[in-house]
Amino acid sequence: MSTSANPVANPATAAPRWRRLLPGSLFSRVTLIIVVGLAIAQLLTFAAIRYERNMALRELMMIGIERDIASSVAILDRLPATERAGWLDRLERRNYRFVLGGHAQGGEPGSQASRQFAAAIVDALRPFQVVKVGEVAWPPEGLQIEVRLGDGASVVVHAMRVGMPVSGWVMWLLAVQLLVLAVCAWVAVRLVTRPLAQLSEAADQLGPDLKSHALAEEGPTEVAHAARAFNAMQQRIAGYMAERVEILAAISHDLQTPITRMRLRTDLMDDTHDREKFRQDLDAMHSLVREGVTYARTLHGATEPPLRIDADALFESMVADYEDTGHQVRLEGRAGAPIVSRPNALRRILMNLIDNALKFGTDVTLRVQAGDQRLVVSVLDNGPGIPPDELDAVLKPFYRVESSRNRSTGGTGLGLAIAHQLAMAMGAELTLHNRAEGGLEARLAVLTAPAA
């Protein structure tokens, strides 16, 4: 029993989710990766330095503060009881102060750091008697240590561990450093990806005329080598295409003479029936040779310069020409304004499309739709259409769909191919679409600048 194809994408070939979140261009991706990597490295370095700094400051504080507290308690012990209150402000520091009388509040120190801090102070206060050590809620991890002086009076030491905040200029320095690294990364990636962008642009400009500008063969070794290879490739392709056109032109020239002789001999034949058959075959050969050479010339692109033209007048004159030959072609829509385009190439494309529509249909319409910097010209017919899987193939040379599009003769199979080549040469796009109501639509989208 056959099974239907699984519509779900293959997990092995589907792009990971994280990759779909990355920017589209190589420049953006490499820049993002480098900047993010540098930022993470900066943060890790900052965290390590901050941790080491805190450890060093803690050790330094643990060594000095207990001695200062012990010295201050010794001073209070030697002072007369009446003078001790006047010395409290002198002995107060940012991380400890003294209160005469009263009792220590709070419970046992909870954290390991608080216990170590308390143990260091208690050890430094010897031989004074430490009555109680308590940890209070405010300030955080603050200690209250009740000490008994020599005359029996009590002093409560309010001590706390004071952190060492990072100066504001350090954070600004880190931000500036990260900015400098980001700019350097952007410049480096730009230097790396710019040759790729230039190569891509040169490849896009390499049209049927094969007249793209040569890349500058300079820069790093790899870039210069790629530019030389691309320029050599352009020259080889141009040589191959020129040789192809010369071969076709030579064949056409050599066939003209025997075809002419055969026509003369055909005219001298007595059998009228055979003479007409020979004449038809010779006309087909002549048409095939002529259109073959025309197609070969289109491979070299459009040498015609862009001109300011009245598109509406061009379309109306074409419709009138077909009416003079007995073919009815309707015109719908207007361009509305002069455009800049290649008139001869545009006329040849539309003539091929209309001839193809008249060959396979009886109702032909030339529809014009104007847009912003874009003109869409469609040729619609009521013929049998083209199988969907052959819509692209019929644009190739010598390809004919005899079973679906031919009523009398399939022609040479070069009309649509010539139109396609000319459209590419003038920067337009030619596509074929089957109409829902039957027939074919040949749609020509021309990118055009407004006439000055």
232 and 159 part of one domain: no
48, part of any domain:
yes
Q: Does one domain contain both 333 and 422?
A: yes
Identify whether 210 is part of a domain.
Answer: no
Q: Is 188 in contact with 220 (CB distance < 8 Å)?
A: no
pLDDT band for position 228 (cuts 50, 70, 90): confident
The DSSP string of 233-270 is HHHHHHHHHHHHHHHHHHHHHHHHHHHHHHHHHHHT-S
Q: Which of 250, 265, 298 is at the close of a domain?
A: 298
User: What burial class does residue 138 get, using C-beta atoms within 10 Å of its C-beta: 0-12 exposed, 13-18 middle, 19+ buried?
Assistant: exposed
pLDDT-derived band at 78, boundaries 50, 70, 90: very high
Q: The CATH number of the domain where 365 resides is what?
A: 3.30.565.10
Say if residue 159 is in the same domain as residue 37: yes
Q: Judge whether residue 403 has pLDDT over 60.
A: no
**Across-strand partners of 307?**
341
- What is the rounded distance in angstroms from the CA atom of residue 364 to the CA atom of residue 411? 19
- In angstroms, the Cα distances linking 362 to 318, 357, 381, 445 are 17, 8, 7, 24
Sequence letter at residue 125: L
Q: Which residue is it, tokens 């009388």?
A: 101
One-letter amino acid at 180 equals: V
Confidence of residue 296 (pLDDT cuts 50, 70, 90): low
Mean pLDDT of the 76-105 span? 91
Q: How far apart are CA 69 and CA 120, in angstroms?
A: 11
Same domain? 142 vs 193: yes
For 226, the domain range is 221-298
Q: How confident is the model at residue 410 (pLDDT cuts 50, 70, 90)?
A: low
Stretch among 226-240, 248-262, 393-407 having the lowest mean pLDDT: 393-407
Domain harbouring 236, CATH code: 1.10.287.130
3-state secondary structure of 378: strand
Tell me, yes or no, whether 148 and 189 share the same domain.
Answer: yes
If asked whether residues 62 and 125 sit together in one domain, one would say: yes
Residue 377's pLDDT band, with cuts at 50, 70 and 90, is very high
β-pair type (307-309, 154-159): unpaired
- Phi, psi for 145 (deg, rounded to 5): -120, 115
Cβ atoms 90, 98 nearer than 8 A: no
Q: Pick from 261, 281, 298: which residue ends a domain? A: 298
**Do 360 and 407 contact (CB within 8 A), yes or no?**
yes
Residues 245 and 316 grouped into a single domain: no
Q: What is the pLDDT of residue 297?
A: 63
Single out the residue of 413, 414, 448, 154 nearest to residue 310, CA to CA: 448
* pLDDT value for 3: 43
Per-residue pLDDT at 266 exceeds 90: no
pLDDT (average), residues 218-225 = 75
Same domain, 35 and 174: yes
Contact predicate 287/321, CB 8 Å = no
Same domain, 255 and 381: no
Query: For the residues 414-425, what does the mean pLDDT come to?
Result: 82
Asked if the bond preceding 127 is cis, omega within 30° of 0, the reply is: yes
Buried b (16+ CB within 10 A) or exposed e, 324-358: eeeeebeeebebeebbebbbebbbbbbbbbbbbbb
Q: Tokens 């014009």 appear where?
A: 368
Non-local CB neighbours of 178 within 8 Å, separated by 6+ positions: 38, 39, 42
pLDDT of residue 13: 46
pLDDT of 388 above 70: yes
For 303-341, the pLDDT digits (tens) are 678 888 899 999 999 999 999 888 999 999 998 888 888
Q: What is the mean pLDDT of residues 434-438?
A: 89
Q: Is the peptide bond before 397 cis (omega within 30 degrees of 0)?
A: no
Burial state string for 411-448 with b = 16 or more CB within 10 A and e = fewer than 16: bbbbbbbbbbbbbbbbebebebbeeeeebbbbbbbbeb
Of 173 and 72, more confident:
72
Question: Same domain for 27 and 172?
Answer: yes
Higher pLDDT, 79 or 24: 79
pLDDT at position 452 is 45
3-class state of residue 323 by DSSP = helix
Whether 289 is covered by a domain: the verdict is: yes
In percent, how much of the chain has pLDDT > 70?
Answer: 80
Backbone angles phi, psi at 155, to 5 degrees: -130, 130
Domain count, the chain: 3
Together in a domain, 265 and 360: no
Question: Which pLDDT belongs to residue 87?
Answer: 93
Whether 227 shows a pLDDT value over 70: the answer reads yes
Do 73 and 190 share a domain, yes or no? yes
Residue in 352, 367, 31 with CA at minimum distance from that of residue 187: 31
Q: Is residue 51 part of a domain?
A: yes
pLDDT on residue 141: 79
Nearest to 378 by CA among 308, 426, 446: 446
282 occurs within a structural domain = yes
In a domain, 8, yes or no: no
With respect to residue 67, please indicate whether it lies within any of the assigned structural domains.
yes
pLDDT band at 263 (very low <50, low <70, confident <90, very high): confident
HSE of 153, CA atoms in CB hemisphere, 13 A? 17
Give the pLDDT of residue 440.
92
Give domain status of residue 323, yes or no: yes
